[in-house]
Amino acid sequence: MTPLPLHAGALVASLAAGLAAGFVLGVAHFAMLTRNLRLFAAGRLAVAFGLQFMRLAVTVACFAGLAWRFGAGTALAGLVGLLLARTWLLRRTGTGAGP
């Protein structure tokens, strides 16, 4: 078996970093979503809409930064990390419909 070329190793590291960054961002994103839902339920609409805007703006900015700095592959790996964080949080809190 031949070793991976150096540039392939850098690609794997970039994808792993994107996955990890997306997971961390996803945990923060969905934790803020929980907070946001509580604000809406309490009738604090102005605060809830402000938090909603901030949460989405930070998420979009982070993924745009990943794509701009490291490329689309790393940004896509980050999106996979975000979805993994969502799945993990739903299973952890017992609110998701899963196997």
Domain limits at 63? 23-92
Q: What is the spatial distance between Cα 64 and Cα 68, in angstroms, rounded to a whole number?
A: 6
48 near 40, Cβ under 8 Å? yes
CA distance 17 to 12: 9
Flag whether 8 is in a domain: no
Residue 46 located in a structural domain: yes
In a domain, 9, yes or no: no
Supply 29's token pair.
Answer: 């994103």
On whether residue 88 sits in a domain, the answer given is yes
With respect to residue 51, please indicate whether it lies within any of the assigned structural domains.
yes
**Is 1 within a domain?**
no
Kindly state whether residue 15 falls inside one of the protein's structural domains.
no
**Tokens of residue 26, six digits:** 């996803």
How many domains in the chain?
Answer: 1
Q: Is the pTM for the entire model greater than 0.85? A: no
pLDDT in tens, the chain (99 residues): 554 454 877 888 889 999 999 999 999 999 999 899 999 999 999 999 999 999 999 999 999 999 998 888 899 999 999 999 999 998 888 765 555
Q: Is residue 70 part of a domain?
A: yes
